[in-house]
Structure 1
């Protein structure tokens, strides 16, 4: 019997820091008439949206594939291909990947453990919106980035410059789907069969080689230089 492959896991600290930086990148200012906790710097709605954004941070090859999708809707935007190339021409898809399980609504991981230290330190607040009166079903999660949380998020890189990658990456992911809700992002991720066909409660597999092959085709069609992988390896 073949033993299952070991799954690379982030530490609780890594998860907490990544999510804080993602909340900082994704949170929008509250509306004027919105009731929010004191000292709220920004709000992000729905756990689905947070999970789907986190997926692209944790799976660089899927993010590169989505950048290529964006490029094909606007072929003149070669900067999108360059971003995908920066990811796929490096070891990033392996070094930065932290696998997620396929759940009923796509990529999923319990967030409570990672968010708890942020709540305890007064960096974020979170709440749940319940269904109609008499129902206990949660219909929406809302996350509030507090001013202290924003200060900490933006000072982290000064103390740990290696976190600059996460700052840039979370901002790229958020910019890619700015204005879209969690369900819309989920539907986009489901368009890729490797993702959609993953059995429930199984880890979503990487698509690095598939993404690299597609990148070579698109760069060749755009007459962009294609790295000679064999020569680089020698």
Structure 2
């Protein structure tokens, strides 16, 4: 995938996606002494935020992960249905915004989009310092950011997709830290095999074939006529 072929999001799109993702992923600040006084939630670590963002930006990888989760928990048919909704639509192509693979997986600088949120008083970033370097980035959702996220969805229904997908991604790995999510993403061969500095390729057709194979193993559903006999 060359740079000329890569679909890039606008700064506004990046900022909106990041706000809705932080809004979905933020946990209560609790007794966090570093939290701004108007913080209503926090996402701990840049790794976690980057890895969640990857699945929002690559719907085919998200669908494939839903298939993994379904096969581990076959009593949860909603996972299979959600994967099918994604893969049977144009979403994997229309919603994909490619990311480069870096040393620790998918990565893109968040500073430009985050600066928009900070300037508007919607979010705040705090760098926790060690002896020689930053050891953790924390992303705080502010009261105005939470209100704005809800207002955006009310004013622009077309943004509902972002809310749905960010919530799906967060629910998929609820309770897992960024490093665990990173390790999980590396289990996908195409992701792990992407050369450092190259864009991670899509896996849409592979995921669709996998969905078809899984569906073929399930008992046939009765027709409407059979149900009313």
User: Please, what TM-score do these two structures have when normalized by structure 2?
Assistant: 0.93
Structure 2: how far apart are the matches of 1:69 and 1:3? 30
Deviation at 1:198, TM superposition (A): 0.2
1:214-229 superposed matches below 5 A: 214-223=210-219
1:158-177 superposed matches below 5 A: 158-177=154-173
Aligned to 2:151: 155
Structure 2: how far apart are the matches of 1:116 and 1:17? 12
In the alignment, does 2:204 pair up with 1:205? no
Deviation at 1:27, TM superposition (A): 0.3
Aligned length: 221
In the alignment, does 2:60 pair up with 1:64? no
Choose which of 188, 208, 212 in structure 2 pairs with 1:192: 188
1:1-234 superposed matches below 5 A: 5-32=4-31, 34-132=33-131, 135=132, 137-223=133-219
Aligned to 1:231: none
Structure 1: how far apart are the matches of 2:136 and 2:46? 7
CA RMSD, 1 decimal: 1.5
User: Please, what TM-score do these two structures have when normalized by structure 1?
Assistant: 0.91
Structure 1 stretches of 5 or more lacking a match?
Answer: 226-234
Structure 2: how far apart are the matches of 1:81 and 1:41? 33
Deviation at 1:3, TM superposition (A): 7.3
Deviation at 1:4, TM superposition (A): 6.1
Deviation at 1:158, TM superposition (A): 1.5
Structure 2 stretches of 5 or more lacking a match?
Answer: 222-229
Structure 1: how far apart are the matches of 2:105 and 2:142? 28
Structure 2: how far apart are the matches of 1:103 and 1:117? 24
Aligned to 1:230: none
Residue 199 of structure 1 aligns to a residue whose secondary structure is coil
What whole-Å deviation, never above 9, does each CA across 1:136-174 have from its counterpart, x for those lacking one? Answer: x21110011001000000110121110000001100100
What whole-Å deviation, never above 9, does each CA across 1:69-97 have from its counterpart, x for those lacking one? Answer: 00111112111100000000011000000
